[in-house]
Chain A
Amino acid sequence: MKLTLKIWRQKNRQAAGKFETYSLDNVTEDMSFLEMMDILNLQLLHDKRDAVAFDHDCREGICGMCSMYINGRAHGPENATTTCQLHMRSFKDGDTIVIEPWRAAAFPIIKDLVVDRSAFDRIVQAGGYVSVSTGSAVDANAIPIDKTTADKAMDAAECIGCGACVASCKNSSAMLFLSAKVSHFALLPQGQAERKRRVLDMMRTHDEAGFGSCTNTGACEAECPKSISISNIARLNREYLLAALSNDTM
Chain B
Amino acid sequence: MKRNLIIVTLAVFVCSTIFLLSSCAKKQVVTEEKEIKAAPKEVAKVEKERLAAKEEEIERAERVKIERLEELESAKKREADAKKAWQERRSAKFEAESVYFDFDKSFIRTEYRPGLKKKAEFLKDNLNIHIRIEGNCDERGTNEYNLALGERRADSAKKFLVSLGSSPDRIEAISYGEERPLALGHNEGSWGQNRRDDFVIIKK
A and B form one complex = no
